[in-house]
Amino acid sequence: MPALPSTDHVLERATSALQRCGVDHLTEVTGTGHPARTPITGEALFDVAVSDPADVERAIGAADACFRTAWRDTPAPARGQLVRRLGELLREHKGDLADIVTVEAGKIRSEAAGEVQEMIDICDFAVGLSRQLYGRTMASERPGHRLMETWHPLGVVGVVTAFNFPVAVWAWNTAVALVCGDTVVWKPSELTPLTALACHALLARAAADVGAPADVHHVVVGGRDTGALLVDDPRVALLSATGSVRMGREVAPRVAARLGRCLLELGGNNAAVVAPSADLDLAVRGVVFGAAGTAGQRCTTLRRLIVHEDVAEAVTDRVVETYARLRSRIGDPFDDTTLVGPLIGEGAYRAMAQALDQATAEGGTVLGGGARCLEKEAPDAYYVEPAVVSMPRQSDIVRQETFAPILYVLTYRTLEEALAVHNGVPQGLSSSIFTRDQREAELFMSAAGSDCGIVNVNIGTSGAEIGGAFGGEKATGGGRESGSDAWRAYMRRATNTVNYSTELPLAQGVSFL
């Protein structure tokens, strides 16, 4: 098992990466401020200043004024230049940001670098988008008239993010919101304030370099109470919130009460169907990365394996075997040989242990994994062996998202049965089918198939590209971010009817005067 680094070593690495990104005002841990911790050792690294309500008020006020007086009137391609510069700085500081993601979220090196690459990719996308905010022209029913739609900036976008994608989700929102002419106030997870300070410093530098106003972006640091100030403020035209279903249930009615707009990206309970014709080598690799990668802490993590009974034993045996090999690769996420880093903290570990107990009580059998590791070396850190649990049916615990690496295995006889199990959970984020039967693949992607926002064939549930719209249905919240036409959520649409004739014909043939 890769040995763990000392907290001093992690601190040194974090300090130099933060300084290179332009953050050099962090204070040592005194026990009085908000501690920024690393899950690698579970210990605190810095005290971070928490924003009080007056700070949040100032941030929203400044972002709102910047929107009204400068940013919404800046031509979209010129707004794109800010995002282009941000993309350049992200390329330059890819290693630094990846280091901070590893320090704060515990991601292994290649996944942390992949997350930063996603930021770079969305910047490229948004720069192109800055010249493609297209509206439609429709045929008017009246002679001498033109009917069209135009898209305008919306206002201040409040971005609330989760700990597990501390930088990519911010970039999906911010790169697109900025080219759409919106300004942004970001409330990162209280578990990952350092990554937020680093991103903010890079964006501030990009703004200075291209002459954009500094107030296009603000960060406020704090927990739920700080987030709630964005939720309730009528100047926040769009609240884009990523996190648990519990958070969405709290936030959505409050934004609705002020008739504001919400974009929700909430929890998933993702499944893969493995059909008898599947390429099993490919399926097992896809399943193991989807279920154990990022220590089971992705919204798209594979949590349910629905496997045909003819191949169930073969697939399960191979997954359990591969999991056994992962055991020697759990540990320091900075070590290139590590495949499974730490859980974010004690709460995640307790939730995993409770879920395994409940699964057993509901008739399940733990086929492998589930034990805590490295607790002697780092008593405040939580490393676990990813677990595989065979379940007799889709019981209560299987229908819940436990944000830890537990893969429940269920079997099926007919595809119809598999689909009923697949869709029989509250969440609807990501799904996949492994099959070489085109009819099955097409049915899975059809209206009668998977009810998720992401529906894959012969790849796992996690690891989306930025070009598509990302998000899910049902309790996942219905929001879409990132590529395709997700930008429309960040703008308001005006329908324009222009009369260039000398007559005044009324629509639907109405006559008056």
Active-site residue set: 265
Are the CB atoms for 406 and 389 separated by under 8 Å? yes
Q: In this complex, which beta carbon is closest to ligand NAD, that of residue 5 or of residue 248?
A: 248
Minimum Å gap between C-beta 391 and ligand NAD is 20
Contact letters (x/-) for ligand NAD, 470-489, by CB under 6 A?
--x---x-------------
- Neighbour count for residue 279 (Cβ, 10 Å): 13
Q: In this complex, which beta carbon is closest to ligand NAD, that of residue 179 or of residue 247?
A: 247
Q: Per rule CB under 6 A, is residue 382 in the interface with ligand NAD?
A: no
Please list the residues that pair with 34 across neighbouring strands: 48
User: What region does 508 belong to: left with phi over 0, alpha with psi -120 to 50, or beta?
Assistant: left
User: Which of residues 223, 253, 379, 424 is near ligand NAD by CB under 6 A?
Assistant: 223
Q: In this complex, which beta carbon is closest to ligand NAD, that of residue 83 or of residue 299?
A: 299
Are the CB atoms for 173 and 86 separated by under 8 Å? no
Minimum Å gap between C-beta 314 and ligand NAD is 30
Are the CB atoms for 382 and 278 separated by under 8 Å? no
Q: Per rule CB under 6 A, is residue 122 in the interface with ligand NAD?
A: no
Looking at 104-112, 243-251, 385-393, 412-420, which segment touches ligand NAD (CB under 6 A)?
A: 243-251
Three-class DSSP category at 130 = coil
Buried b (16+ CB within 10 A) or exposed e, 311-348: bbeebbebbbebbeebeeebbbbbbeebbbbbbbbeeb
Contact letters (x/-) for ligand NAD, 385-404, by CB under 6 A?
----------------x-x-
Q: In this complex, which beta carbon is closest to ligand NAD, that of residue 267 or of residue 369?
A: 267
Q: In this complex, which beta carbon is closest to ligand NAD, that of residue 189 or of residue 411?
A: 189
| End-to-end Cα spacing for the chain | 86
User: Which of residues 36, 231, 307, 459 is near ligand NAD by CB under 6 A?
Assistant: 231
Contact letters (x/-) for ligand NAD, 299-318, by CB under 6 A?
x-------------------
Q: In this complex, which beta carbon is closest to ligand NAD, that of residue 34 or of residue 142?
A: 34
Binding footprint of ligand NAD, residue count (CB under 6 A):
31
Three-class DSSP category at 137 = strand
Strand order in the sheet with 217-219: 217-219, 183-187, 156-160, 236-242, 261-265
Binding positions for ligand NAD, 189-208, rule CB under 6 A? 189-190
Q: CB within 8 A of 432, min separation 6: which ones? A: 270, 271, 272, 273, 286, 290, 302, 455, 456, 457, 458, 459, 460, 461
Q: In this complex, which beta carbon is closest to ligand NAD, that of residue 250 or of residue 437?
A: 250
Please list the residues that pair with 498 across neighbouring strands: 146
Looking at 22-30, 202-210, 236-244, 391-399, which segment touches ligand NAD (CB under 6 A)?
A: 236-244
Closest CA to 339 of 115, 116, 108: 108
Cα atoms in the Cβ-side hemisphere of radius 13 Å centred on 480: 15
Looking at 7-15, 96-104, 265-273, 501-509, which segment touches ligand NAD (CB under 6 A)?
A: 265-273
Q: Per rule CB under 6 A, is residue 68 in the interface with ligand NAD?
A: no
Structure tokens at 146: 């033109």
Minimum Å gap between C-beta 465 and ligand NAD is 14
Residue whose structure tokens are 């290179």: 20
Minimum Å gap between C-beta 186 and ligand NAD is 10
Are the CB atoms for 479 and 240 separated by under 8 Å? yes
Report the distance separating Cα 241 and Cα 177, nearest Å.
14
User: Which of residues 47, 250, 437, 473 is near ligand NAD by CB under 6 A?
Assistant: 250
Taking the CA atoms of residue 464, residue 469, residue 470 and residue 475 in that order, the dihedral angle to the nearest 10 degrees is: -150
According to DSSP, residue 36 is labeled E
Binding positions for ligand NAD, 411-430, rule CB under 6 A? 429
Question: How big, in percent rounded to 5, are the helix, strand and coil portions of the chain?
Answer: 45, 20, 35
Q: In this complex, which beta carbon is closest to ligand NAD, that of residue 80 or of residue 166?
A: 166
Q: Per rule CB under 6 A, is residue 160 in the interface with ligand NAD?
A: yes
Minimum Å gap between C-beta 220 and ligand NAD is 11
Looking at 99-107, 264-272, 311-319, 460-468, which segment touches ligand NAD (CB under 6 A)?
A: 264-272
Report the distance separating Cα 352 and Cα 385, nearest Å.
11
Minimum Å gap between C-beta 66 and ligand NAD is 23
Minimum Å gap between C-beta 168 and ligand NAD is 9
Q: In this complex, which beta carbon is closest to ligand NAD, that of residue 280 or of residue 351?
A: 351
According to DSSP, residue 27 is labeled B
Q: Per rule CB under 6 A, is residue 164 in the interface with ligand NAD?
A: yes
Looking at 20-28, 51-59, 226-234, 354-362, which segment touches ligand NAD (CB under 6 A)?
A: 226-234
- Neighbour count for residue 18 (Cβ, 10 Å): 25
Binding region for ligand NAD (CB under 6 A): 160-165, 169, 187, 189-190, 223-224, 227-228, 231, 242-244, 247, 250-251, 265-268, 299, 401, 403, 429, 472, 476
